[in-house]
Amino acid sequence: MKNRKFLKISIITIPIVLIGVMIYLFLSFQQKKEKINALKNIPVFSLQTIDNTLLKSQDLVNDQTKVIIYFSPTCHYCQAEAEELSKTHNQYRNIQWIWVASEPLKEIKQFAHEYGLDKQSNIRLCHDAMAQFYQKLGMNSLPYFLVYDENNHLIKRYSGATKLEKLLLESTNERK
């Protein structure tokens, strides 16, 4: 008798739970897809730079490629990317680099100074104080790269460690 009652409850409960899980997964997928679609053009943003000015999306130069890198100063991969850029930045003078982190501004400034990124006119380091920009990006790992063309259209997205040379080469090939 007990087994029959348990079986009846299981027959009703299991499909309801499975339907609930399927709905949750579908809605999560839709949200992620919406975030990715919103990135097809540079998202609207206003971020504080390490020199206490505001960098707004409309301030970006339109006739240049833009690379937005969401990073953490303590991330080893991010440090490797910064070191690579500091050694090769002269090759990428025609690219606007926007590095964004949500860590305290002091840590971002130290990071920029350590890798000499604060001395380059085409590299901006920004503070995402409330992690609002982070939420717009729909990312899942650091560093996170968004490469936009001269017309502010998304060329490529990358998550995780990526060599800058590979990132830019693949992005250039995507345009062809």
Give the pLDDT of the chain (176 residues) as one tens digit per residue. 677 887 778 788 888 888 888 887 777 767 767 666 667 899 899 999 999 999 999 998 888 999 999 999 999 999 999 999 999 988 888 899 999 999 999 999 999 999 999 999 999 999 999 988 998 887 778 999 999 999 999 999 899 888 888 887 776 655 55
Which one-letter amino acid corresponds to residue 76?
H
Kindly report the pTM of this predicted structure.
Answer: 0.80
DSSP assignment of 111-161: HHHHTTGGG-TTEEEEE-TTSHHHHHHT--SSSEEEEE-TTSBEEEEEES-
67, 154: one domain = yes
111, 34: one domain = no
CATH number at residue 52: 3.40.30.10
CA–CA gap between residue 46 and residue 80 (Å, rounded): 27
Residues whose CB falls within 8 Å of the CB of residue 131, separated by 6 or more in sequence, listed in order: 102
Residues whose CB falls within 8 Å of the CB of residue 115, separated by 6 or more in sequence, listed in order: 79, 82, 83, 85, 86
31, 101: one domain = no
25, 61: one domain = no
- Count of domains forming the chain: 2
60, 34: one domain = no
CA–CA gap between residue 158 and residue 54 (Å, rounded): 26
26, 71: one domain = no
68, 95: one domain = yes
Q: β-strand 46-49 against 54-56: which pairing, if any?
A: antiparallel
Read off the tokens for 144: 């996170």
Residue 1, domain extent = 1-38
3, 21: one domain = yes
- Specify the residue for token string 């990428």: 92
33, 115: one domain = no
58, 136: one domain = yes
> Distance from first CA to last CA of the chain, Å, rounded?
70
29, 57: one domain = no
55, 135: one domain = yes
